[in-house]
Amino acid sequence: MNLGRFALYNPSRRDLLKAAILPAGSFSLRGAGRPPKRILIAGAGLAGLSAAYELVQAGHQVIVLDARGHPGGRVLTLRDSFADGQYAEAGAETFGQTHNFVQHYVQEFHLETMPAWNFGTLTSLVFRDGRRSGSGSDLSRKYVQPAVREIGDPLAPGWPSSDLLRQFDRISMSELLESRGASPEEIALLQITYSDSWDNGTAPDSALCLLRDEAIARKGASFRIRGGNDQLPKALASSLGARVHYRTTLLRIQQNSKQVTVTVNTSGRRSQISADYLICAIPFPVLRSIEVSPGFSEGKQRAIRELSYNSVTRVYVQSPTRPWIAEGLSGFAATDLPIGTVWDCAEGQPGVRGILECYTSGERARRLASLSEPQRVGTVVENLQKVFPGVSSEKAVSIAWDADPLVKGAFAWFKRDQMSTLLPHIARREGRVFFAGEHTSPWFGWMQGALESGNRAAHEVNDAK
């Protein structure tokens, strides 16, 4: 996730409505499903749920399976951990003005949004070598922003072109920056400025992967769903009613020319379900251990095996007041400390308290994840007080996404050359099995990607012969 750093845009309702214009042919499956098909969907995250929603509208028979006891997967609002009714997002947190699939469903279910990163005149910090330091904004303008413009609009159909892949996917971010004259010292400062998304280091990841994230995050304003993002998957799931089966884990996929059969475990009991088609909307690290017969194509197997996922660990510290505001600070800080990037994730919520969220990814996330919960919180609070001295911890909670057995990582994060070699295989159908999920979309790592992929898969199944 990219934080849309320093975005001070104040959106109006008109902007929202403008943004919700969808690409031609994206939706409108309504009534298209004649004769109705029997469709299984594994995964009740936004990808699986949106696919189910569209296919039900079309008149198909749909069953959704999820191993968890609730819908939403990586859209997870932490509601019981804090005082004053404040809440925090463990997974997806903000979305952009140009994220038309998110905006579409937000409007479909009459959810309210509020602006994110709405700092007004408050200052955001860069904290480096034990003190507040100058930001990397000038360097970003010199080296990163021109490259972001060069990669065009990642939300445009057909993106990325083979030219873009050749130019930007085969190299890492440090190679790109070096080739444009950045010194090692400048690259180090940029890495802190972009600490939320460049934390794997600038060497292993595809430059296109990082530039794409920047481009998606920075276009226009950002929003949150007022009251918590989990309202969106809950609304989708409740419209599907008893079609969604919880605590049901996919174990095996078997297909022949006539049907697909899945073996599932429902609260300790094994059973089989057959249908015309399956949409597999579960993360690839989990799919690695699911038995598939006959096996998928070579290209698909390689994509499932090799697709890289980023590590993210987040620690949330609720403070009795927001002392940073009195200092004229927004609460946002990009740091070189073990706490990564910090911001007030209860921004815009009522109450005098604030929740400082410490977002780490890559190596810092893995180091925090290796600690026990009390050690993790202790390390974070100690370091947080170096940046915001008046902050005290009333309640604290953490989440390490690598440790979630139903994802085993945070989101797809392509290493050098993987967008060129793996993307073409990730979303491609395998007989009666179709694929959805953020990792199958050019907008991976975003709710927009999950919803886009759900819609694409719904259309593919609807049209399948």
Ligand X SMILES: Cc1cc2nc3c(=O)[nH]c(=O)nc-3n(C[C@H](O)[C@H](O)[C@H](O)COP(=O)(O)OP(=O)(O)OC[C@H]3O[C@@H](n4cnc5c(N)ncnc54)[C@H](O)[C@@H]3O)c2cc1C
Q: Rule CB under 6 A: which residues touch ligand X? A: 1, 42-48, 65-68, 73-75, 91-95, 249-250, 281-283, 286, 312, 401, 406-407, 410-411, 437-438, 445-450
Beta-carbon contacts of 215 under 8 Å, excluding residues fewer than 6 positions away, are: 148, 151, 153, 154
Shortest distance in whole angstroms from residue 181 CB to ligand X: 32
Least distance between ligand X and beta carbon 198 (Å): 15
Question: Which one, 160 or 437, has the nearer CB to ligand X?
Answer: 437
CB of 462 to ligand X, least distance (A): 19
- Residue closer to ligand X by CB (options 249, 319) is 249
* Comparison of 128 and 219: residue with beta carbon closer to ligand X: 219
Residue nearest to ligand X (CB): 45
Kindly state the smallest distance separating residue 282's Cβ from ligand X, in Å: 4
Q: How far is the CB of 440 from ligand X (least distance, A)?
A: 8
Q: Which is nearer to ligand X, 182 or 317 (CB)?
A: 317
Cβ-based nearer residue to ligand X, 379 or 448: 448
Rounded to the nearest whole angstrom, what is the least distance from the CB of residue 312 to ligand X in the complex? Answer: 4
Q: At its nearest, how many Å lie between ligand X and the CB of residue 363?
A: 16
Whole-angstrom distance, CA of residue 448 vs CA of residue 99: 6
**Least Å from the CB of residue 323 to ligand X:** 26
Residue 97: closest CA among 158, 9, 24, 28? 9
For ligand X, the closer of residues 315 and 447 by Cβ is 447
CB closer to ligand X out of 229 and 335: 229
- C-alpha span between 31 and 93 (Å, rounded): 34
Q: How far is the CB of 411 from ligand X (least distance, A)?
A: 5
Give the residue with the Cβ less far from ligand X, 37 or 224. 224
**Residue with Cβ nearer ligand X (177 or 317):** 317
Longest dimension (CA), the chain: 67
